[in-house]
Structure 1
């Protein structure tokens, strides 16, 4: 026996769930079923949404809206052919229903046909009275295609419809940032704030744009307005702390980071920033305390372990430094900077085999900095592999062909490897570049046994005569 909805004057969702637990069958309006199904879809409860659709269609077999929700579930479960077939049926019944085009666009989007999805959404846009959702979907499709200008325009339309739609506002700013149009973002946000002067989200985003442009005074003002608009806005306090750090106002930065901790549960990122500030203030004990708090709060935050590593490295406590850099590497073993730091620590400990391995890892992972090649070659030479050191410097010269440090070091290593012919060629190449810089001391001081030799003096004299 079906009971009328007014016999059970409860909220539709509560009543629906009560019905599922009993043998009673309650009658719902089609609109109630739509609300129930949307609720379950929004909360990811697909099985309950499907039950709602099944019972809803039993009570309202002609409801196009319920069948469109059925299509939505089919698409979610990748039942594309069934979804297409049902949409074909529905389009024969109502060719001017924008939701049909939206669902077809959703199918094409899942099949990575974003251009086709955009065409269908444009069709939906031409027949709908509620274009907000369509513009939002268009924005996402343009993002999939990396068309940030069009995406930005679509999300701007969403904000025009609903100025409280912060998700679209964030997307507009994201597009500006990706296009590196920080000036454009500033103009847009200032325009938005003229209409919504107490929007903490917009003030926060405006502060970030000023930060990118290194307009720190303006950024601080924007964050202050964000805090005035909402004095519990943790993001504004945190970003304000970062600006104060840039300005060298570390004690004020600490105060802002501490405020974030007092408002909500402490975060590892706040502890890390506080530790960095104390490090800049030369208060090593407090820095160490907060760095340890960082990794206690989040043992998987590799930057926390790196901060502790640097603390001990700077104190020349290399044994502890190597212990903590290994902690960071265990979390992110693909980070070339961590491997380079590891190599430098092993170099300081005179663990040259480990240093050699670490430098190789750093280079393999894309660290091609000048001092990486110089230090790696030095480690290999100390290990007695002078020819391998020459090869490393040769690799480095591919990235820095006019680096006198690499050229003069190569001359010295070639001489150590008993290759005076190539050493002479390399020295001549270096002297050609070193016309105005006068950096011959890079060779003579690092290799005194050769620097003042007749061999060197003869080449320098001959080169000076031919200039």
Structure 2
């Protein structure tokens, strides 16, 4: 039995699915099939989309639009050679169909040939007045090519076409940020807001740009306007709280974070920020209360465990700090900052072997900060391994060849080994790099501060610096 279907798309979809459950055959217009297929593709129901394409082409074998949807699915499933062959056939039938060039662009994009993809998308632009989707695709290709200037221009075209296209608006601002052009982003957003004064998304993004410029009062104003535009916009309350924190207005910041908790299910990030505010207000009990709420809400949030670690570390309760940093490491054992914190705690507990191991882990995972090399060398020195300390300091000098502190410390280690020749070489290098840090060296190695050996070297360097 064949039935015609001129109903709305949702009715067509319901009728199509009813047909699949029975032996009846319903007739649909080609446009109905297009709506049905788009519905399934947009909802990720590829199997149903393929069934609709197959049945659609049985009823409308000459429909180029249905064949192009077939190509789209082939591209999605990475059957690229088959899709290209299909497109060659379609181009012979309709060489002015922009969708053919769009699908060719998709194929080249999947092959990581983004220059060719851009070329085909530009050909598609020449064939249609409806260019919104093409500019969006162009923007993505330029992002793949790291050409943020052209990507920005393409996404701007999308926003010009549809000022409610927030996805493109976000991409425009992303490009500005990557180009480190915060001033340009501010000008662009203010211009956009002249036309759309109640767009909470734009106010929110403007506030973030002001934060990047450290224009905190302007950022607060922007977030206030975002809230006026949409008083349920949680992101604006949260960002406003962060700005208030930076301004030292911790009670007001807490109010904004609490608003986000009242409006939606509590989040561990909101609890964490509230805890930090209370700690800065020196309300330790409330700080602990919210820190523990943070990890209760999300036991896998390593930053929550680290916040508790820092809380106890600052109060010199190193045993508890060690317990909680190990919690953070159990969640993210590849985080070099956590290993460094673990090393600092073990050092404070005079567990030098464990501190040595933790510093090694931190460095192996990519922490090459100056303080890491200096502190690690000190740990090894406390373990009575002066050659090991010198080796670590030499590694640090590879990253900081012009740093005087590393040279001074190396000189001190050589002096402790009674190797005055190498100590003299390192000390002369250190004095030439930064003579003013000599006082710090004398404080760290007071046993050598008043020696004739040191006075002689210092006098020689002073003379050469005059």
- TM-score class, shorter-chain normalisation, is over 0.9
Residue matched to 1:11? 11
Q: What is the CA–CA distance in structure 1 between the aligned matches of 2:454 and 2:206, rounded to whole Å?
A: 61
Residue matched to 1:250? 250
**Matches of residues 323-402 of structure 1 in structure 2 within 5 Å?**
323-402=323-402
Residue matched to 2:407? 407
Q: What is the CA–CA distance in structure 2 between the aligned matches of 1:6 and 1:464, rounded to whole Å?
A: 95
Q: Structure 1 residues 10 and 366 mapped into 2: Cα distance closer, same or farther (>3 Å)?
A: closer
Residue matched to 2:438? 440
Q: Could you tell me whether the CA contact under 8 Å between 2:9 and 2:35 is conserved in 1? A: no
Q: How many residues align?
A: 465
Aligned with 2:444: secondary structure?
Answer: coil
Q: Could you tell me whether the CA contact under 8 Å between 2:260 and 2:270 is conserved in 1? A: yes
Q: What is the CA–CA distance in structure 1 between the aligned matches of 2:464 and 2:85, rounded to whole Å?
A: 85
Q: What is the CA–CA distance in structure 2 between the aligned matches of 1:5 and 1:136, rounded to whole Å?
A: 33
1:2-55 CA-to-partner distances (Å, cap 9, x unmatched) read 122269997111111111111211111111111110011011110000011111
1:108-141 CA-to-partner distances (Å, cap 9, x unmatched) read 1111111111111111101112111111111111
Q: Could you tell me whether the CA contact under 8 Å between 1:404 and 1:430 is conserved in 2? A: yes
Q: What is the CA–CA distance in structure 2 between the aligned matches of 1:95 and 1:129, rounded to whole Å?
A: 16
Shift of 1:272: 1.1
Shift of 1:342: 0.6
Q: Could you tell me whether the CA contact under 8 Å between 1:8 and 1:15 is conserved in 2? A: no
Question: CA RMSD of the aligned region, Å?
Answer: 1.9
TM-score (norm 1): 0.95
Shift of 1:461: 4.7
1:78-99 CA-to-partner distances (Å, cap 9, x unmatched) read 1112211211121111111111
Residue matched to 2:71? 71
Q: Could you tell me whether the CA contact under 8 Å between 2:5 and 2:32 is conserved in 1? A: no
Q: What is the CA–CA distance in structure 1 between the aligned matches of 2:425 and 2:207, rounded to whole Å?
A: 56
Q: Could you tell me whether the CA contact under 8 Å between 1:404 and 1:434 is conserved in 2? A: yes
Shift of 1:359: 1.0
Structure 2: give runs of 5+ residues left out of the alignment: none
Deviates more, 1:78-87 or 1:222-231: 78-87
Deviates more, 1:223-232 or 1:358-367: 358-367
**Matches of residues 220-231 of structure 1 in structure 2 within 5 Å?**
220-231=220-231
Shift of 1:410: 2.1
Q: 2:451 aligns with which of 445, 450, 453?
A: 453
Q: Could you tell me whether the CA contact under 8 Å between 1:201 and 1:226 is conserved in 2? A: yes
Shift of 1:374: 1.9
1:185-207 CA-to-partner distances (Å, cap 9, x unmatched) read 11111111111111111111111
TM-score (norm 2): 0.95
Aligned with 1:3: secondary structure?
Answer: coil
Q: Could you tell me whether the CA contact under 8 Å between 2:2 and 2:25 is conserved in 1? A: yes
Residue matched to 1:302? 302
Q: What is the CA–CA distance in structure 1 between the aligned matches of 2:128 and 2:8, rounded to whole Å?
A: 35
Q: Structure 1 residues 350 and 65 mapped into 2: Cα distance closer, same or farther (>3 Å)?
A: same
Deviates more, 1:41-50 or 1:403-412: 403-412
Deviates more, 1:13-22 or 1:388-397: 388-397
Shift of 1:169: 0.8
Deviates more, 1:174-183 or 1:374-383: 374-383
Q: Could you tell me whether the CA contact under 8 Å between 1:408 and 1:442 is conserved in 2? A: no
1:196-228 CA-to-partner distances (Å, cap 9, x unmatched) read 111111111111111111111111111111111
Residue matched to 2:141? 141
Residue matched to 1:265? 265
Aligned with 1:11: secondary structure?
Answer: helix
Q: What is the CA–CA distance in structure 2 between the aligned matches of 1:173 and 1:6, rounded to whole Å?
A: 43
Q: Structure 1 residues 10 and 383 mapped into 2: Cα distance closer, same or farther (>3 Å)?
A: closer
